[in-house]
Chains A and B, each alone.
Chain A
Amino acid sequence: MNHQATYKAQPSHDLWFRAGQQLISDKLGILGATIVLLFLFITIGVWLGLWGQNWSETSDFFNQSPSLRHWFGTNAIGQDIASRGIYATKVAFEVGLLVAVCASLLGTLVGAVAGFKNNTWLDSSLLWLMGVIDSIPFYLFVAAIAYAMKGFIFSMHMAMILVFWTETARVIRGEVIKLNQLEFIESAVAMGQSQIKILLKHIIPNVSHLLIIQSTLIFVAAIKSEVILSFLGLGVKDGISWGLMIAESTNDIQAGYFLNFFVASGLLFILVIGFNLFSDALQDALDPKLQK
């Protein structure tokens, strides 16, 4: 009865379906996705208060080796390294998610508007803005935002969002310019649809695959930047993060204690490589240029 309806829905559904099929057959991609889900699971557990809550508790057991009580031993002031690593996972995920979502939304919006208004003053000023932001040294920009926001706890996230959107905006802008020359946009214009409606209903859905890829790339960039910024004293101020653990561990290392360093850098490496593998698989599955 609704045979005709399914037939009509086929073409748009088909691309995503095929991408999904390819993604499932990509073993490394599945491995990456599993790692990411595992870290997400750890993070949700911390949010729900199931584990990693006693990360700041000190004890009299300094620099202990791994044991059943302390899976990865303790640090110089007797804190449980495993709990700290787990709680820091949550911090890293929060940074990554917040920055990836906000920066890719901002990038899509600006990129779509710039591409839509190609060759107007609006496009050139948005391109100018992207050029300006890309030319400011990243660390200085983060420090400047932190100054300007007077110790606001999300100033590091804010700075990353304000820097990382430009890449997405450029990609989306290029795609929108390409789409704008296609017949289906022309016919939408001819039918008298408003520009906003064309943008939201016809252009954004056609760049959504790029948006997914871009946000995974931003997620990785945000997590890696957080570590370096926190290490330099420009990032996470209160609480714990992998970068702060590594900063702490540089003293431990001189005394011959490596556990803090191994846990923080190991967790960071596993999450980042998981995300990179997943992101690669997504690109292979979603980029029509690579599908042959």
Chain B
Amino acid sequence: MNNWQFAFQMLLGGIPLILGVTFISFVLMVYFGPDLTFELLGKNPSAEDISQIRHLLGYDQSFWTRYFNYLQELVTLDFGMSMMKDQPVADMLKLAIPVSLLLMIPGFILGNILAIALAIKAVQFRGQWRDKTIMTFSVVGMSISFLVVIIVFQISLSSSYGLDWFPVRGWEIFTADGDFDGVRYLSYVTVPTLATVFVAVGYNTRFYRAVLVEELNKGYITTAKAYGHKPSQVMYKYILKNAMIPIITRVMFSIPLVVISGSLLIESYFGIPGIGLVTYDAIIAGDQPVLKAVVGLTSVLFVLVLIMAELLYRVFDPRMGKVST
């Protein structure tokens, strides 16, 4: 079975997941959710106005019709108008997604690379003071709340109580002419990135160290050492390559979580108009079309990540492809 057939099969396999996510969130958010009829009406509405709004919101249709309309929206990527901002949901997301990507990608990459580097150092000096120092810092990092990290970084780097080097909040990365400005981008992205990296490194280092140690204890490593391979060669050529499966799994599966959950706190705290802030505003206002779009797209993203992870596994471990055929 070639990779394309495999990916297609996985895509079909992902459909139940998307159906499950959309169904549960539809039931919770829309069916049991708040009735928005009166939020959209003016004062003293007539019975006609009420029924018109209810028709507009689809409340007069049956449960299943509404659910299938939602699925249809997800397939066509047309989620209708936002209830709170007079704007199509698709346009809001189109503006917000690049902002979130620009915001989160540096921290995501740095957080993982730094953690792998620290984990390798810790394993190389296993049981010695370097290992213990790295692991102590990682437990401390894990124990500080993300929220506290964000606030401390903001006070110490962007406020008059600290160094005051960076803007406190906002996201004005374009010049007056609308061009992308690298210096401005760096000034706005630095503090959120440092906070993300600080939190990610704690968890990631621990995980990667455990993965590397497990690989280190295997018999073939003893053989490789006995054959006189250099320690660095054993680490990078054998241990790291064989530890790639759990590493890929972790990196890939944190993508959807980083995009939505990670950026929700960062963006709402720093006032950055990305997908997290759009979601947060929609949660607070009960803007159902936006929430439906975000939940639906996240589940699609999960399925895509699942497929990509499976394809990457086959690159690093050719046995996997053979087993599943």
Chain A interface (Cβ < 8 Å from any Cβ of B): 128-129, 131-141, 143-145, 147-148, 224, 227-228, 231-234, 243, 246, 250, 253, 256, 261, 265, 268-269, 272-273, 276-277, 280
Contact = CB atoms under 8 A, between A and B. Distances in A.
Q: Is the interface of B mostly helix, strand, loop or mixed?
A: helix
Contact of A228 (B34, B146, B294): B146
Contacts of A134: 302
18 contacts: A128-B16, A131-B17, A131-B20, A135-B17, A135-B256, A137-B260, A139-B280, A144-B25, A147-B32, A233-B284, A246-B147, A246-B148, A253-B155, A253-B161, A265-B144, A268-B148, A269-B148, A273-B140
Contacts of A141: 25, 28
A140 B20 contact: no
A231 B139 contact: no
Interface in B239-297: 256-257, 260-261, 264-265, 268, 279-280, 283-284, 286, 291, 294-295
A128 B20 contact: yes
Given A135-B21, A232-B280, 16 more contacts: A132-B20, A137-B257, A137-B260, A139-B260, A140-B283, A140-B291, A143-B283, A144-B25, A148-B33, A224-B146, A227-B145, A228-B145, A228-B265, A246-B147, A276-B139, A276-B143
A268 B145 contact: yes
Given A147-B29, A253-B151, A137 B294 contact: yes
Tell which of B32, B147, B256 has the most Cβ of chain A within 10 Å: B147
B17 A136 contact: no
| Shortest 9 CB-CB contacts between residues of A and residues of B | A132-B20, A148-B32, A273-B143, A144-B28, A265-B148, A137-B260, A135-B302, A272-B143, A143-B283
B28 A148 contact: yes
Contacts of A234: 283
Which of B151, B155, B286 has the most chain A CB atoms inside 10 A of its CB? Answer: B151
Contacts, number: 119
B320 interface: no
Interface of B: 16-17, 20-21, 24-25, 27-29, 32-34, 139-140, 142-148, 151, 155, 159, 161, 256-257, 260-261, 264-265, 268, 279-280, 283-284, 286, 291, 294-295, 298-299, 302
Contacts of B146: 224, 228
Contact of B295 (A128, A137, A280): A137
A135 B33 CA distance: 20
Contacts of B256: 135, 137
A128 B302 CA distance: 13
A263 to B, nearest CB: 12
Given A131-B17, A135-B302, A145-B28, A140 B286 contact: no
At the interface, is chain A mostly helix, strand, loop or mixed?
helix
Contact of B147 (A129, A227, A280): A227
Nearest to B18: A135
Contact of B279 (A140, A272, A276): A140
Given A232-B268, A273-B140, A136 B147 contact: no
A261 B286 CA distance: 30
B283 to A, nearest CB: 4
A136 B261 contact: no
Contact of A246 (B24, B151, B155, B283): B151
Contact of B139 (A131, A132, A148, A277): A277
B3 to A, nearest CB: 23
Nearest to A250: B151
Given A144-B25, A273-B143, A139 B261 contact: yes
A136 B24 contact: yes
Contacts of B33: 144, 147-148
Contacts of A268: 145, 148
B305 to A, nearest CB: 10
Given A250-B151, A277-B139, A147 B20 contact: no
A280 B256 CA distance: 28
B308 to A, nearest CB: 15
B261 A261 contact: no
Given A128-B20, A131-B17, A145-B28, A137 B298 contact: yes
A240 to B, nearest CB: 16
B272 to A, nearest CB: 15
A124 to B, nearest CB: 9
A269 B20 contact: no
B150 to A, nearest CB: 10
A137 B259 CA distance: 10
B299 A135 contact: yes
Contacts of A144: 25, 28-29, 33, 291
A128 B17 contact: yes
A145 B25 CA distance: 9
Given A135-B299, A137-B260, A138-B261, A261 B151 contact: yes
A144 B286 CA distance: 9
Given A137-B260, A139-B264, A140-B294, A243 B32 contact: no
